[in-house]
Structure 1
Amino acid sequence: MSGWWAPLLVVVLVLLASAASNVAAPGEARVHHNHGKFMEGPWRPAHATFYGDHDGTGTRAGACGYKDTVAEGYGLQTVALSTAMFNGGATCGACYEVRCTESPKWCKPGAPPLVVTATNLCPPNYQQSGDNGGWCNPPREHFDLTMPAFLQIAEEKAGIVPISYRRVSCLKQGGIRYTITGNKYFNMVTVTNVGGAGDVVAVTVKGDDRVKWTPLTRNWGQVWQTGEILVGESLTFRVMTSDHRKATSWHVLPRDWQFGVTYRATKNFH
């Protein structure tokens, strides 16, 4: 192959191959991943306790705005973070790998590291000292695990155990999910099932007609708000995670979208 058109033909073939790789098979909803990957953080020391009951009662909702962590795909592998780590709700959705350390009596031998998602706040207790009951008081970094999660790495009788932890990528099935509640004049958007860094730090929305790109503000946890009238338009959301990567969910909500219904995108982080 020679001539000026040869390099051009190669480029065309590469582009066609790339396009073909993004076409879902019949009946398959392919999830597209944006470029790059979340990088794991260093191991750090902390302590872990547990809350709730053996079946996770009382742990499925909380300060991040999630309604039911089991129904929303997080299961009971979740954690309430101390104030120092919760960061006013900005850390909601982040994933951590946790292992029990330095406690042969209480750590379960051979237990694999546990991966949990931050879904709640462990509030401080200033009536007790940070080393005796006030485990979640600033500036302590502390994990209050659901009981089912805690029991995977330590004995219930321990109550509290030393751990080491690190940030890891959130591995999610399917695309990012969006649920709008509120009313025509006040929309609250809950963003769930976010992969990669997991913690959303910015959200913008765009309609297919009148609504231009509009930034949302954090209401609490991973619930975002806007007073823009969104009804009657197909909506596109763009989210940014703490590692500054962005994912755009084009027309994830149809024009006839309904309040309280969860819509799934075909894109996620990894």
Structure 2
Amino acid sequence: MAPPPATSRRGPLVVPLLLLLAALDVAGASGHKPLTPGGRLVHHNHGKFTAGPWKPAHATFYGGRDGSDTTAGACGYKDTRAEGYGVQTVAVSTVLFGDGAACGGCYEVRCVDSPHGCKAAAAAPLVVTATNLCPPNYQQSSDNGGWCNPPREHFDLSMPAFLQIAEEKAGIVPISYRRVACVKQGGIRYTITGNRYFNMVMVTNVGGAGDLAAVSVKGSKRVKWTELKRNWGQVWQTGEDLTGESLTFRLMTSDHRKATSWHVLPTNWQFGVTYEATKNF
């Protein structure tokens, strides 16, 4: 009996592979982006976070000259001084806040087009971190007191930050702003509060984009990769019992870059204690 054609073994494997590659080429040529099995876009992350374009807005200030009354707020931070953000902070308007998605992001801010309100150019640029929400005030019009009403992009700076670029008597000044990379010392930090049936994870000291779009956790034993939900700001929640195992967290920032903090919490981790990873974005 004659041996079967050489293609009879390889054909069933080679042809589908060629068809798959051709389909991918067609998809790429048609502009469709590949998806993960879960339906999310596949992103190839390279390089560092890059500054965004300059945009116009306005700035006011709140709190005291020492930054008092600005160290906590809608992002969930307990004390921005203790958590490494200091008082170089800003409460952003609703359209910028994005239900907490902006928390941790960094902005460079310049006072512009106000000869009597702007101070002379500072030696160093003013970079602030979004740590709070400037709520809308629908009792006043958006051009007269309701500065944070949608659809305005507005920056309510801490008073120490405002005074670096503008005169206190000005009250409100036009600004130009852009997103910039957050430069942090040390690694990403994690603090879990709550209880074994409901965990709230505060993530701080995030470099790069600074904000977070997704958080997942994995235990060293029974806990598989579990996606957390945003509770508020930079506080993320899960009902998974995380006790009794070392924990690894995987973060994704708004620019789709990812960082994994392997076993950042030891097996005997405790609620309310802050643990720092060895790496950052």
TM-score bracket for this pair, using the shorter chain length: 0.7 to 0.9
The aligned counterpart of 2:219 is 207
In the aligned structure 2, how far is the partner of 1:175 from the partner of 1:132? 43
Query: Match for 2:63 among 48, 52, 57?
Result: 52
Aligned to 1:147: 159
Instruction: Note the C-alpha offset of 1:106.
Output: 1.4
In 1, Cα distance between equivalents of 2:47 and 2:88: 26
Give the TM-score, by structure 2 length.
Answer: 0.83
Offset from partner CA, 1:192-212 (integer Å, 9 cap, x none): 000000111100000000101
- Does 2:105 correspond to 1:94? yes
Which of 40, 60, 75 lines up with 1:64 in the alignment? Answer: 75
Equivalent runs, 1:98-113 vs 2, <5 Å: 98-111=109-122, 112-113=124-125
The correspondence of residues 157-172 of structure 1 with structure 2, limited to 5 A, is 157-172=169-184
Q: Please identify which structure carries the higher strand content.
A: 1
1:91-127 Cα shifts (integer Å, max 9, x gaps): 1000000000001111111224210000000000000
For residue 173 of structure 1, the aligned residue among 177, 182, 185 is: 185
Indicate the residue corresponding to 2:20 in structure 1. none
Cα deviation digits, residues 108-160 of structure 1 (max 9, x gap): 11224210000000000000000000000000000000000000001111100
Q: Quote the Cα distance in structure 2 between the aligned partners of 1:90 and 1:44.
A: 19
Question: Among 90, 99, 105, which residue is 1:79 paired with?
Answer: 90
Query: Partners in 1 of 2:255 and 2:228 — Cα distance?
Result: 19
Paired AA for residue 42 in structure 1: P
Where 1:162 maps in the other structure, the secondary structure is: strand
> 1 CA distance for matches of 2:218 and 2:231?
19
For 2:229, the equivalent position in structure 1 comes to: 217
Q: Which amino acid aligns with 1:40?
A: A
1:137 and 2:149 are equivalent in the alignment: yes
- Between the two structures, name the one with larger relative contact order (CA 8 Å, sep ≥ 6): 1
For residues 147-206 of structure 1, the C-alpha deviation after alignment (integer angstroms, 9 at most, x for no partner) is 000000011111000000000000000110000000010000000000000111100000
Deviation at residue 36 of structure 1 after TM alignment? 1.7
How many positions carry a matched residue from both structures?
Answer: 236
Q: Which structure: larger Rg?
A: 2
Q: Percent identity?
A: 82
* Deviations 1:70-105, CA, capped at 9 Å, x for gaps: 000000000000001000101100000000000111
Q: Which runs of 4+ in 1 moved over 2 A?
A: none
Q: Is the 1:113–1:153 Cα contact (8 Å) retained in structure 2?
A: no
Q: Is the 8 A contact 1:82 1:137 kept in 2?
A: yes
1:234 corresponds to which of 234, 246, 258: 246
The residue aligned with 1:42 is 53
Q: Which residue of 2 aligns with 1:13?
A: none
In structure 2, which of residues 172, 177, 201 is the aligned counterpart of residue 189 of structure 1? 201
Structure 2: gaps spanning 5 or more residues: 1-44
Residue equivalent to 2:272: 260
Matched residue SS, 1:85: helix
